[in-house]
Amino acid sequence: MDERLGTSRAPGRPGGGEAVDEREAPRAPAVGLTSAEVASRVAEGKVNDVPARSSRSIRDIVRANVCTRINAVIGVLFVIILIVGPIQDGLFGGVILANTLIGVIQEVRAKRTLDQLAIVGEARNTVRRDGATVELAPAQLVLDDVIELGPGDKVAVDGVVQESDNLEVDESLLTGEADPVFKRPGDKVMSGSFVVAGTGAFTATRVGRDAYAAQLAEEARRFTLVNSELRNGINTILKFVTYAIIPAGIALIISQLAVGSGDIPEAVRRMVAGLVPMVPEGLVLLTSVAFAVGVIRLGKKKCLVQELPAIEGLARVDTVCLDKTGTLTETSMDVDEVHQIEPGVPVGEVLGALGAADARPNASMQAIIDAHPAPEGWAEQNSVPFSAARRWSGATLSDPAGRTSTWLIGAADVLLPPGHAVLVAVDAYGSRGLRVLLLARCSVPLTEALGNPALDTDTVTPVALVVVKQRTRAEAPATLRYFAGQGVEAKVISGDNALSVSAVARGLGLPGSERHVDARYLPERPDQLADAVEGNAIFGRVGPQQKRDMVAALKSRGHTVAMTGDGVNDVLALKDADVAVSMGTGSPAARSVAQIVLLNNNFSSLPSVVAEGRRVIGNIERVANLFLTKTVYSVLLAIVVVLANVPYPFLPRHLTLIGSLTIGIPAFFLALAPNAERAKPHFVRRVLRFAVPCGAIAAAATMTSYTIARSVYDGNLAAETSAATLTLFLVGLWALAIIARPYTWWRILLVLAMAVSFAGVLVIPFLQKFFQLQLVGTTAPWAAVGVAVAAGLLLEGIWLFTRRAATAQPTT
């Protein structure tokens, strides 16, 4: 424990101290910069100008929505149609333009929402300027600023320590090493680390993009869909479609030239008609729009989504790990009782003096300070701040008579050995859901106590039990019931006494709250630890590294884990969880690694995030069935046309009309509709299970109708195309009617509106001419309807099969 006694890590280690004669001299006085010095550094560009976490620039948004693989493919085909004409066959180009504009507008709206929320939830830094302390945003820091540090504070820029009062910094997010590093004046601190105990101040030596963690943070904090199963699945589909387009286009143009007697413009139009519907152009757009709208909706509920995949991830979660304090209970506490063990000791004065000695009190110590103000005549000689790893704090105090004693206050079951008589009373209070702190006299100096984790009864003398009452959150029971009803298992992982945590959880109605474990006795072997974590619901006395190990154990068993927390001791577990959620009043370190920050500090907001994620995933999967059905039947139609050596049955305008009415327009409504279906894994597999057979049925029905029409009309290509278009539209409409289930009034109206719109095209002369559609006679049109009905019945069978398969498939 030499680091705690004042010896930093070996030279050369990130954040560790170097030899005294090699240390960088302080670059600014402890009083901080003057306003003139700040202005000079701003003018020189020496500002912490790291981009905002929440979003990318508008320029990046426009580039990402315009410069896509899909737009490149469709753009080339659009230019070809502009060359050969007519313009009606280039309608798909206008659809792509509209899609791109909608995507840009929605993402810019989401960016503004995120930026505004990020400002509200931004961690502020305490900086010394002009001889006073001020609260500044990270972007306002300049080179040589003197920045104060306390427990839970995140180090925003690189620097050199100026002052240290038992300052301990956790650099595990940078170095991977879990042990905190004791920092002395002259030691370096690095951006991305955070304070676990003590206080101090440092001078900024590197700011902005020069800081150690700045580049990594800039990459990690973008408004992105990276690591999203949904987006990755869609990209996989698009990759294969793109590879298939080139050979399909070559085969189509050759076949259409052969059957069209060398009519190049007509062959080109038919080739483009075969290629355009292969590309699920609206699917990527709707995915981006659905996520962006989700961000805006959650923003209105004061939920800051710092990484978009968190919306999807939380919808897939099957285990949520909750920190008790700040999540199930309020962060503020009250002293309920002081039970004196050793008579004659002025307990109230000792507690008041300990509170006065704590520069950054936690919630428990603040409750003691509120109940016991600082007494007169007491002086602090030395102190040790509270640490989540130690679970106690202490101070050497001299009383008004000049007597000096060392006092410790913290977890009784840590300061006392197992079986101690006092622990019986501690457990009695804990069974009522109360937090109990032990005030004890220590017979050895603080430095020796720090180096002796197994203090015995000869070292520690119990003096009093401080009973602290915590207020449970009113919304917690309903939120826990929601998770239980959704099949999400809740586990409470806390640093408090397991018995006390169990009592609180039991009062809130948490399932399995009677299964509580003291984490100090958990097995260390990963497989045994995983068994213990899976089999119990309440864990007390959990250290920061143990929280991380428990999250890893759950993930090793295939669980998708969400972790909520607000303290510095939660940071490691938050970082490793699939989804990290922090309260807005949480420590800056916790908020910096969280993907979702509940700015209203309301645990009941989590169901809203889950519901939003399920809406996005469920609806995107719903519309993906439509888009990929179109891709499948387009590919199959192209293959059949090439093999049969017949004219392609459609012009681009026909497939634009069918795609818009059966997929494009309805998909916008369906993608943003309410949807509470539970998220399931294997997105691509499930979508293809429906889309491939449905696309095959649609292609077979279309070619059957087209073949019948060719025998009826004998070379009237416009009439043949009209019959094939009618069949494909009706099959597509039937697929839409299936995907729109379960029906609501607006979904029924949506399907009917699409049917009426197509009917209008068939009966209004202008539209008939514009789209080159006209049903001739009755034989072929009624045959087209009959074929479509038969295909629709087959679609129903496919739907029943896929629903049964989905029901049998486990959720995640």
In which residue are the tokens 């519901």 written?
611
Give me 103's structure tokens: 């995507």
What confidence score (pLDDT) does residue 179 get? Answer: 67
244 domain residue, yes or no:
no
Q: Is the peptide bond before 418 cis (omega within 30 degrees of 0)?
A: no
- The average pLDDT across 11-20 equals 35
What confidence score (pLDDT) does residue 796 get? Answer: 92
Task: Check the CA dihedral 297-302-308-311 and report its sign.
Answer: negative
pLDDT band at 704 (very low <50, low <70, confident <90, very high): very high
- The average pLDDT across 773-794 equals 92
Q: Which has more confidence, 222 or 616?
A: 616
**Quick check: is 323 catalytic?**
yes
Q: Cα angle at 334 between 328 and 336, to 5 degrees?
A: 110
What confidence score (pLDDT) does residue 11 get? Answer: 33
Residues 6+ apart with CB under 8 A from 63: none
- Statement to judge: residues 402 and 479 lie in one domain: no
What confidence score (pLDDT) does residue 697 get? Answer: 95
pLDDT band at 23 (very low <50, low <70, confident <90, very high): very low
- Statement to judge: residues 29 and 174 lie in one domain: yes
- Please report, rounded to a whole number, the percentage of residues in the chain having pLDDT higher than 90: 12
Give me 355's structure tokens: 């509170």
- Please report, rounded to a whole number, the percentage of residues in the chain having pLDDT higher than 70: 88
638 domain residue, yes or no:
yes
pLDDT band at 568 (very low <50, low <70, confident <90, very high): confident
Q: Which has more confidence, 74 or 120?
A: 74
Return the closest-CA partner of residue 461 out of 356, 366, 344, 336: 344
> HEC profile for 71-102?
HHHHHHHHHHHHHHCCHHHHHHHHHHHHHHHH
What confidence score (pLDDT) does residue 453 get? Answer: 56
- Statement to judge: residues 438 and 487 lie in one domain: no
Is 1's pLDDT higher than 70?
A: no
Catalytic residue among 145, 187, 323, 549: 323
- Statement to judge: residues 582 and 720 lie in one domain: no
Is 355's pLDDT higher than 60?
A: yes
What confidence score (pLDDT) does residue 357 get? Answer: 85
Return the closest-CA partner of residue 609 out of 317, 232, 331: 317
Q: Which of 415, 434, 469 is the last residue of a domain?
A: 469
Max avg pLDDT among 559-563, 656-660, 781-785: 781-785
232 domain residue, yes or no:
no
Q: Which has more confidence, 71 or 221?
A: 71
Backbone φ/ψ region at 625: left (φ over 0), alpha (ψ -120 to 50), beta = alpha
- Interval 246-265: pLDDT, tens: 888 888 888 888 776 667 88
Query: What CATH number corresponds to the domain at position 318?
Result: 3.40.50.1000
Arithmetic mean of pLDDT over the chain: 81
- The average pLDDT across 379-403 equals 83
| CA distance linking residue 395 with residue 404, whole number of Å | 10
- Do the Cβ atoms of 17 and 130 come closer than 8 Å? no
- The beta strands (E) that lie in 211-302 are given as none
648 domain residue, yes or no:
yes
- The average pLDDT across 270-294 equals 79
- The average pLDDT across 532-550 equals 87
What confidence score (pLDDT) does residue 18 get? Answer: 35
Query: What CATH number corresponds to the domain at position 407?
Result: 3.40.1110.10
- Statement to judge: residues 95 and 143 lie in one domain: yes
Q: Which has more confidence, 284 or 463?
A: 463
What confidence score (pLDDT) does residue 46 get? Answer: 85
Q: Which of 454, 469, 484 is the last residue of a domain?
A: 469
pLDDT band at 51 (very low <50, low <70, confident <90, very high): low
Return the closest-CA partner of residue 109 out of 61, 145, 66, 174: 61
What confidence score (pLDDT) does residue 745 get? Answer: 92
| CA distance linking residue 204 with residue 214, whole number of Å | 14
298 domain residue, yes or no:
no
> Which one-letter DSSP state was computed for residue 664?
I
- Statement to judge: residues 565 and 645 lie in one domain: no
Task: Check the CA dihedral 112-113-116-122 and report its sign.
Answer: negative
**Beta-carbon-side half-sphere exposure of residue 119 (alpha carbons within 13 Å):** 6
- Do the Cβ atoms of 536 and 382 come closer than 8 Å? no
CB burial of residue 161 (10 Å; 0-12, 13-18, 19+): buried
What confidence score (pLDDT) does residue 222 get? Answer: 38
H or E segment to which residue 66 belongs: helix 58-66
Give me 274's structure tokens: 């075969």
What confidence score (pLDDT) does residue 114 get? Answer: 67
What confidence score (pLDDT) does residue 50 get? Answer: 65
Give me 197's structure tokens: 């105990």
- Interval 797-807: pLDDT, tens: 988 887 776 66
What confidence score (pLDDT) does residue 9 get? Answer: 38
- Interval 663-693: pLDDT, tens: 988 988 888 787 767 667 677 788 888 889 9
Is 72's pLDDT higher than 60?
A: yes
- Statement to judge: residues 678 and 716 lie in one domain: yes
Residues 6+ apart with CB under 8 A from 398: 378, 379, 381, 404
Q: Which of 550, 580, 601 is the last residue of a domain?
A: 601
pLDDT band at 55 (very low <50, low <70, confident <90, very high): low
- Statement to judge: residues 641 and 494 lie in one domain: no
**Beta-carbon-side half-sphere exposure of residue 483 (alpha carbons within 13 Å):** 27
- Do the Cβ atoms of 552 and 311 come closer than 8 Å? no
What confidence score (pLDDT) does residue 553 get? Answer: 92
What confidence score (pLDDT) does residue 133 get? Answer: 87
228 domain residue, yes or no:
no
What confidence score (pLDDT) does residue 223 get? Answer: 37
| CA distance linking residue 146 with residue 30, whole number of Å | 6
To 10 degrees, what angle do helices 309-316 and 281-300 make?
80
Residues 6+ apart with CB under 8 A from 474: none
Q: How far is CA 428 from CA 382, 464, 499, in A?
A: 33, 15, 9
- Interval 162-193: pLDDT, tens: 988 888 888 766 665 556 788 888 888 888 78
391 three-class SS: coil
- Statement to judge: residues 523 and 648 lie in one domain: no
CB burial of residue 18 (10 Å; 0-12, 13-18, 19+): middle
Give me 582's structure tokens: 């922090």
- Statement to judge: residues 497 and 447 lie in one domain: no
What confidence score (pLDDT) does residue 125 get? Answer: 85
- Statement to judge: residues 671 and 759 lie in one domain: yes
- The average pLDDT across 702-724 equals 90
- Statement to judge: residues 439 and 562 lie in one domain: no
Query: What CATH number corresponds to the domain at position 186?
Result: 2.70.150.10
Domain that holds residue 525: 303-328+474-601
What confidence score (pLDDT) does residue 694 get? Answer: 94
Is 454's pLDDT higher than 70?
A: no
- The beta strands (E) that lie in 258-351 are given as 303-305, 319-322, 329-340
pLDDT band at 212 (very low <50, low <70, confident <90, very high): low
Q: Cα angle at 23 between 20 and 29, to 5 degrees?
A: 110
| CA distance linking residue 300 with residue 114, whole number of Å | 10
606 domain residue, yes or no:
no
- The average pLDDT across 619-627 equals 86
Is 734's pLDDT higher than 90?
A: yes
Query: What CATH number corresponds to the domain at position 697?
Result: 1.20.1110.10
Instruction: Please tell me the total count of domains within the chain.
Output: 4
What confidence score (pLDDT) does residue 219 get? Answer: 40
In which residue are the tokens 């009093």 written?
464
In which residue are the tokens 């050596």 written?
645
| CA distance linking residue 364 with residue 373, whole number of Å | 14
234 domain residue, yes or no:
no
Q: Which has more confidence, 262 or 137?
A: 137
| CA distance linking residue 99 with residue 656, whole number of Å | 14
What confidence score (pLDDT) does residue 520 get? Answer: 84
